[in-house]
Structure 1
Amino acid sequence: MRPRLLFLCHRIPYPPDKGDKIRAWHMLSHLARRWSVDLGCLVDDPADLAHLPALRAVCAEVECRPTGARASAAARALLRLRPGLPLTLGWFHAPALQDWVAAGLAAGRYDAILVYSSAMAPYVMGPHAAGRGGRAMPRRILDLVDVDSAKWAAYAVGAAPPMRQVWAREARTLLAFERRAAAAFDCTLLVSREERDHFATLAPESAARLDWVDNGVDLARFDPSLHHENPYRSGARPIVFTGTMDYRPNVEAVSWFAQEVMPMLRTAAPDHQPEFHIVGANPAQAVRALATLPGVYVTGPVPDTRPYIAHAAAAVAPLHIARGIQNKVLEAMALARPVVASPQAFEGVRANAGQDLLVADGRLATATALSEVLRGLHPDLGARARAAVVRGHDWSATLRRLDRLLPGEPAAYAPQAAE
């Protein structure tokens, strides 16, 4: 009989079509090969409930609870707000899911627990999560993914009141909770060695129990040898950005690029002007407004982002707020596209700046790097990009670190030493 694992996730991990769901799905499907997995998750988009059969095909049991509309989740967060606690915890609290988890723990059902994101940590913390009859708590692994509190701190910088105070409070209280959770769990994972090292400076009391599992990329799905119909007009020189387009870091990135960099590029190439294509679901009003600018196109949701990446002259990731490893960068590199990324978007990518992709900080450097790519001055950049992600971001290789932490049988935990 296979050992049993409880996997908790703040968002249904299928389909793997956005950052947090991609990592969660690959972890889940990888572990399900050796473990009998019970999945407990939340769903914020009712349309995602159609994908429950795909999850039930790989899990022993699936307990999926809706968070309700954004307004409902916000109201719940405010009602559960307590001094010193972040709004995040109330937002992702579902009493029915809590009862399901508690029942499984009380029955001694699990040999190990993997919790994906700090928001789900309370489900297996505190007296309500303790096993009954003197049973010891199973081995608990927390995947913070990235230091989410740092994102809220970045949001607070430059924000106007009252949101400056709201974001600053969330950053402060969430960091305090991240530290408590890391101290409570047997091991806490981050998305990269750099993110692990950063959190170790914020939570030195738990540094010895911190580790990391790098993000990977589906190399078979993002294979440049696959054929995709060209979605662009004939003769276009498209520059592409992919991502969920109501996510604030993405909104700020494309707004900055469209308004600051594109005019420079179009002035530099008056006879063959490039186009900027913003590809992704849920474009915010600020993003839709960018389509009024010369050479800027906003697609909204598309069935598949790969044709837009595969036929682009270049992919850009000009993020100013970024945590962990950017899937948009890995996917473009896997499709052998030249990538120009900001230093923030480059962090955690196992590649050589200047050889496998170009890293540019500021509008002049970004425009210069893209002009060089469009003029053909980096003819091997795409091939080197593909080779770099094959070496450093193959899921089958990155998830071996997870196997060491959850070997599928009782074993002593041995954290990875700092490097």
Structure 2
Amino acid sequence: MDFAFDARTEELRGQLTEFMDSHIYPSEPIFEEQLEKRENPWEQPPIIDDLKQEARSRGLWNLFLPGEHGGGLTNLQYAPLAELTGRSPELAPAALNCAAPDTGNMEVLTMFGTPAQKEQWLQPLLEGEIRSAFCMTEPDVASSDASNISTRIERDGNEYVINGRKWWSSGAMSPRCKIFIVMGKTDPSSHRHRQQSMILVPRDAPGVNIKRGMHVFGYTDGSHGGHAEIEFTDVRVPVQNIISGEGDGFAIAQARLGPGRIHHAMRLIGMSERALEAMCRRVTSRVAFGKSIAEQGVVQEWIADSRIKIEQLRLLVLKTAWLMDTVGNKGAHTEIQAIKVAAPSVATWIIDRAIQAHGGGGVSQDFPVAALYAHARTLHLADGPDEVHKRSLAHRELRKYETR
């Protein structure tokens, strides 16, 4: 395994670092000010449009997507770039058109969409003209087991009829959101992994009722438009809106979540680095009981452990990226699950210490660490709870010792 950055990666890292320094970090206070002044709490602050225009002019656009539609990068090339964007998770991913859930939805349409679906929905997403939502989780069932999903997608002639209730539908509150990817059951009698399908549902389709926006630790999402609770009541869409085919929903979800999980892990490294940097700056500038807080042994232990944890996590993420590039997502399944558990654990541990080191300021809006914690803590749940991934990892490990 060779994790040295190639020339293309080094070039993009330099460009992105400069963009972060010159545009992203200085825009953070502007972003916060615009958040407070919004009439619609789910509207994207205008500063993001300015940043998107600037990023695109620099060629820092759709870097997450391999192939002709995106930056043409491998996972290993994209890893250090996603890490940099994680240092400002509200602004940087959105500015580069690399923010969830649009990234995952674009990947789904790229891999499984028909030419007509790509023209109607993928192209405007690639251009950053619209936003999208992913509707999978449901309030009435434990959605950590995807086979529990109860939303029905039933064929009626040349249409599918959708009925069900979703929540935590990422991106759906944005006024710019135009399309949902909805997961539901087309055949409850089939094998548990062939019951589900995915279908494209326009946000303005009759029968779509967005009931409310969901807050995360009191925050409304400022970049991708927030999460929604949605009711689908006899929503009708053409049969052409099915993605890939009936029964393919579970396989599509796995294909979508693999890259999503490593992208989250990459960004969580950046969040961890930002938190460690904030902690070091804070403790070297404050005095308590006659000496710098940085001289306290417990604080030094936090800092040392933080650096060790970050370096360990980065190596695991780079190994996972390399495996995904060389043997595919299926071959990297164990490592993808491992980083899904490890990355939020490392990030929340470090950010929590950074909050503690900041004292009262750590839980305020005056420093980035409280918002970083809210982001990182949700990722113990998003894309599957930690416990589900640990269960799967344990089963795979135990199989090696089963008596035959």
Per the TM superposition, whether the score is higher than 0.5 is no
Of structures 1 and 2, the one with the larger relative CO (CA 8 A, separation 6+) is 2
Provide TM-score, normalisation by structure 2.
Answer: 0.25
**More helix, by proportion:** 2
TM-score (norm 1): 0.25
